[in-house]
Amino acid sequence: MAKQSVADLDPTGKIVLVRVDFNVPQDSDGTITDDRRIRMAVPTIRSIIDRGGKAVLMSHLGRPKGEVNPKLSLAPVAKRLGELLGKPVVLAADTGGKDSTEKAHALSTGDVLVLENVRFNPGEKKGDDASYVAGLAGLADAYVNDAFGTCHRTEASMYAVPKTMKESGKPAVVGFLVEKEIQYLSDAVGQPKRPFVAILGGKKVSDKIAVITNLLKICDHVLIGGAMAYTFSLAQGGKTGDSLVEPDKLELAKQLIRDGGDKLVLPVDTQCADDFSPDANKKIVKAGEIPDGFEGLDIGPDTATRYVEIIRGAGTVVWNGPMGVFEMPPFDAGTKAVADAVASATASGAITIIGGGDSAAAVEQLGYAEKVSHVSTGGGASLEMLEGKAFKTVDILDE
Ligand code: AMP
């Protein structure tokens, strides 16, 4: 059954506690380098405050390990959110303690309060610390989960807090972002328009075993790129030179090759180099023929041509992980060709979904973010959805 969303909630005169994912990248001076996650939460926040509610937002930022760390304060995030909303946003110094309770109760209609980093409190990761959970749950009249990037983690603000609020009769619903993410990812997996093409790349095959296994069951083609292709190549008896490989995953790669049959599409050539540098000596070789002293840093042009052809004919595309070292031209060529083909498929009516993390960064960097159906805000969370896992943090919310 469908989950209730923030649109089903009447926020008038209520304090609404919203778990958002404001885990944004920052440079060494604390300047936010990509505010996408903040922008994506704005529709939910606006829906609450524009309809007469008061919003109290909570998020983690980085990994402070249960200790206060001023470098991981949400102060810059609150400031940026204030700019996006065009109104001041107050920051509370704690999470469910004296300061946040006082500030939450002092809010007027339409006001927004951001709590400090929830991971400053060891109770957040622990999940079931009763006094920490009660402090947060007691702050508000309703709960909204709009933190898709954290939906695969049952930390206190994601699970115990809404559970406690529900037990005392308070509504707990999904926000617009979580609703949209789940709709895209679960529809893609549940009722894909065919041909359904998955593109998987990135560093390690070990990170993506579960997703490859699940997608091989439901996709028409699973295209492999990135460094993980070399573990498959090694498993086929190929030469991989100095490429990144996982020798302890060879049996598993062999198994996936056996199970995948024609569905599993591996690179036919490789762009390799004698150093991890743009100025290195470069060579294009056939897959499995990487000479000693060279490492594979991108799919080769013949592979790119083959992948582009398959992607252009797709009805649904999901993509997680770059085809090569996209951060370092010219080794971005394969990722660029794939991004361009995904954009073309979108223009021809395909549903195209980019997993979060590095693939989202790659399409943003290459200028394709607006040319695909959906760029997920969650790396780990979107992978788990594509693995076919359910989220306890969403299951617990009101139907
Ligand atoms: P992941 O987090 O597993 O999706 O991996 C993304 C990272 O893999 C990016 O930083 C890429 O630069 C890197 N990557 C992709 N292909 C290669 C390669 N052939 N050799 C080394 N690193 C790679």
Ligand 1 residue neighbourhood (C-beta within 6 Å):
202-204, 207, 226-227, 244, 296-297, 321-322, 324-325, 327, 357-358
Distance 232 CA to ligand 1 centre (A): 15
State the average pLDDT over residues 177-183. 93
Distance 226 CA to ligand 1 centre (A): 6
Q: What is the pLDDT of residue 219?
A: 96
6-178 and 192-386: identical CATH topology? yes
In a 13 Å sphere around the CA of 188, the CA atoms on its Cβ side amount to 34
What is the share, in percent, of the chain residues with pLDDT greater than 90? Answer: 87
Q: Is the dihedral of CA 324, 325, 327, 331 positive or negative?
A: negative
Strand, coil or helix: what is 161?
helix
Checking if the pLDDT of 72 tops 90, the result is yes
Distance 386 CA to ligand 1 centre (A): 20
pLDDT in tens, 330-375: 999 999 999 999 999 999 999 999 987 788 888 988 899 999 999 9
Pair 74, 116: CB distance under 8 Å: yes
Superfamily for domain range 192-386: Phosphoglycerate kinase, N-terminal domain (3.40.50.1260)
- Positions annotated as catalytic residues are 37, 204, 357, 380
Q: Which residue intervals of 51-156 are DSSP H helices?
A: 75-85, 98-105, 122-126, 130-137
pLDDT in tens, 213-229: 999 999 999 999 999 99
Average per-residue pLDDT for the chain: 95
Residue nearest to atom 6 of ligand 1 (CA): 202
> What is the token pair recorded at 131?
């006094």
Q: Angle at CA 363, nearest 5°, toward 367 and 47? A: 90
Instruction: Report the atom number in ligand 1 closest to the C-alpha of 207.
Output: 3
Closest C-alpha to 320, from 264, 270, 375: 375
Q: What is the pLDDT of residue 359?
A: 87
> What is the token pair recorded at 366?
């290459």
Checking if the pLDDT of 120 tops 70, the result is yes
Domain chopping of the chain, boundaries: 6-178, 192-386
Instruction: Report the atom number in ligand 1 closest to the C-alpha of 225.
Output: 16
pLDDT band, residue 388 (cuts 50/70/90): confident
Amino acid at 153: R
Q: Which residue intervals of 129-275 are DSSP H helices?
A: 130-137, 160-167, 176-190, 209-218, 228-235, 250-260
Residue nearest to atom 2 of ligand 1 (CA): 202
Checking if the pLDDT of 231 tops 80, the result is yes
State the average pLDDT over residues 27-46. 93
CATH fold of 6-178, please?
Rossmann fold (3.40.50)
Q: What is the pLDDT of residue 358?
A: 84
State the average pLDDT over residues 121-129. 95
Distance 375 CA to ligand 1 centre (A): 19
Q: What is the pLDDT of residue 1?
A: 58
Pair 267, 336: CB distance under 8 Å: no
pLDDT band, residue 2 (cuts 50/70/90): confident
Instruction: Report the atom number in ligand 1 closest to the C-alpha of 296.
Output: 19
